[in-house]
Amino acid sequence: MTSHLHPHQALQITAITARLALLEDEVSALRTQYGRHGVVDSQIIASSLTKARLAALGEVSQDVAHELRQPLSIIILAVEQLQTRADVKSAAWHTDRLTRIAHAAERAASLVENLHHFAVREPDIGTNSPVSLASALSGVAFLLRPSLHHENIRLGINLSTCPDLTVLAMPTALEQVLINLLINARDAINENAADTRRSIDITAEPTPEGRVTLQIQDSGTGIPQAILARMFLPYVTSKGPERGTGLGLPLCRRLMTAMGGTIEAANTKNGARFSLTLNQAL
């Protein structure tokens, strides 16, 4: 067949064939170096997770810094009062000011500790372990609450029917999935100028099959029908290019799959609802 080709075309085909052979050798070498394809994939996921955590830090750091100003202002004011009112003999007055200082300092320390914990925590890709759903949600809520409060968005977490639910998950990965979805919900609510509820509600319940379903419902604009069926594909986003990369939801799906779970999205009359499932730790 190549006898009818122009000599230049034959040279191109030869070059392409040689390049393909080199690529196959490179892939084979990578698989040998890392043991199996799954390990390479885990490293890619871990790298993506690290980048996503840095992006999330950028999202919340400004609001956390704003939140820190209040307890620090209380501390400064109370100390100034103690310094200028040293002549006051009332033990109750001094005790009140010292109590305010202690409470404000504890609040500031908690904010810093949670932010630091989120920033330095190592990815735990590939190691599912029992995770308290209430604890995971509490940690994420503490980190994002300043941002949501700044945007006047109410975050409701209702685990009253099953407060002790435990799932099999990778703690860092589950935390990142929740953060990504809550940030997306916040952005969707901010786009819904007609909505007055401005709320995100999280519920969870076990299933008869030994799974746990976690639902995140927002009061935002909903998911455009044009992208609903392909929103978990890379680079598909309803946000503008200056605000969204289209990589957050694909990462969420990869992380959920790696944990043996699923993630789905649908529109409701009140906004968008994301449904997560994970195996229950018995």
SS3 content of the chain, % helix, strand, coil (to 5): 60, 15, 25
Residue-level pLDDT at 226: 80
Residue-level pLDDT at 221: 85
Is the confidence at residue 176, as pLDDT, over 50? yes
Is the confidence at residue 53, as pLDDT, over 80? no
Mean pLDDT (whole number) for 9-20: 63
**Which of 5-9, 111-115, 139-143 shows the lowest per-residue confidence on average (mean pLDDT)?**
5-9
Global pTM reads 0.61
Which has more confidence, 89 or 38?
89
Which has more confidence, 123 or 226?
226
Domain 129-279 falls under CATH 3.50.50.60: no
**Which of 21-35, 54-68, 192-206, 226-240 shows the lowest per-residue confidence on average (mean pLDDT)?**
21-35
Which has more confidence, 230 or 176?
176
What are the sequence ranges of the domains in the chain? Answer: 129-279
Residue-level pLDDT at 48: 58
187-192 own/partner pairs: CB under 8 Å, 24+ apart: 187/220, 187/239, 187/243, 188/218, 188/220, 188/221, 188/222, 188/271, 188/272, 189/151, 189/153, 189/218, 189/219, 189/220, 189/271, 190/151, 190/220, 191/220, 191/221, 192/219, 192/220, 192/221, 192/271
Mean pLDDT (whole number) for 167-196: 85
Which has more confidence, 101 or 55?
101
